[in-house]
């Protein structure tokens, strides 16, 4: 029986810890894949091209838009970010679960197209804690930190468009919750109609 993978979309304010949670979840779910986005943002010191992102110039990114290569793309904090379409569609077709760690604008575009996706919003335990995390990460200059922190207030207004909200108190607990959500979604009757039909038709 052919089984399509699940599309899991994870968003949340910068510093909420969504990247860490995704990586942690992936370690326990090696068959799933994390989509690598393209961006015009400059790489941070430890980031590698084709591993963390496909780093592109503005011209290259705009050419990709022209060629309809993105499942979604958005302008976030003055840079373009986009999800390459082919990779995601291929992985889902081959039955692998795909995680997209993308911003709200992108997530809402994906939601319009994939109503079977799972949309999870990660929030920090408090705004003070969020600020502490953005500052201690130390990868951005003060202007960028301020921009990201003030965006967080606006972003939280969009939680209602998501299916689930997970508070990131500790990475371990938050990852367990994400895992439980995905597990429960996989057990939904409407995701298992083929299996049920097969049982009904069986001897
Ligand atoms: P960062 O610069 O911290 O890596 O990412 C900034 C924001 O862009 C984060 O909220 C991240 O989830 C989002 N982002 C990363 N990749 C994509 C993408 O492909 N599409 C969209 N719409 N947002 C993305």
Residue ranges with strand state E in the chain: 7-11, 33-34, 38-39, 54-55, 70-76, 79-84, 98-101, 118-123, 164-167
Portions of the chain given CATH number 3.40.50.300: 1-32+97-203
* Length of the chain counted residue by residue: 203
Q: Is 106 in the pocket of ligand 1 (CB under 6 A)?
A: yes
* Mutation test residue for ligand 1: of 80, 100, 103, the one with most atoms within 8 Å of CB: 103
Q: Is 101 in the pocket of ligand 1 (CB under 6 A)?
A: yes
What's the token pair of residue 17?
Answer: 């810890």
Q: Which CATH number fits domain 1-32+97-203: 1.20.58.1000, 2.40.50.180, 3.40.50.300, 3.30.830.10?
A: 3.40.50.300
Q: Which helix (H) or strand (E) holds 99?
A: strand 98-101
- CA–CA distance, 55 with 47 (Å, rounded to integer): 10
pLDDT in tens, the chain (203 residues): 567 899 999 999 988 999 999 999 999 999 999 999 999 999 999 999 999 999 999 999 999 999 999 999 999 888 999 999 999 999 999 999 999 999 999 999 999 998 899 999 999 999 999 888 888 876 667 888 888 888 888 888 999 999 999 999 999 999 999 999 999 999 999 999 989 999 998 75
Q: What's the whole-model pTM score?
A: 0.92
């Amino acid at each position: 029986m052919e089984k399509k993978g699940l599309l899991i979309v994870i968003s949340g304010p910068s510093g909420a810890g969504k990247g860490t949670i995704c990586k942690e979840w992936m370690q326990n779910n090696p068959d799933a894949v994390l989509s690598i986005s393209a961006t015009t943002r400059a790489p941070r010191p430890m980031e590698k091209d084709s591993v963390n992102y496909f780093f592109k110039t503005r011209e290259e990114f705009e050419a990709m838009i022209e060629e309809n290569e993105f499942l979604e793309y958005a302008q976030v904090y003055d840079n373009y970010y986009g999800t390459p379409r082919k990779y995601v569609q291929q992985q889902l077709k081959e039955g692998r679960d795909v995680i997209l760690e993308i911003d709200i604008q992108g997530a809402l575009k994906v939601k319009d197209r994939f109503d079977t996706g799972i949309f999870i919003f990660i929030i920090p335990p408090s705004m003070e804690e969020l600020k502490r995390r953005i500052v201690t990460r130390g990868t951005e200059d003060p202007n960028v930190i301020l921009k990201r922190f003030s965006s967080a207030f606006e972003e939280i207004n969009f939680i209602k468009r998501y299916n689930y909200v997970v508070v990131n108190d500790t990475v371990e607990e938050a990852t367990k919750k994400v895992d439980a959500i995905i597990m429960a979604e996989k057990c939904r009757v409407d995701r298992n109609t083929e299996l049920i039909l097969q049982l009904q038709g069986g001897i």
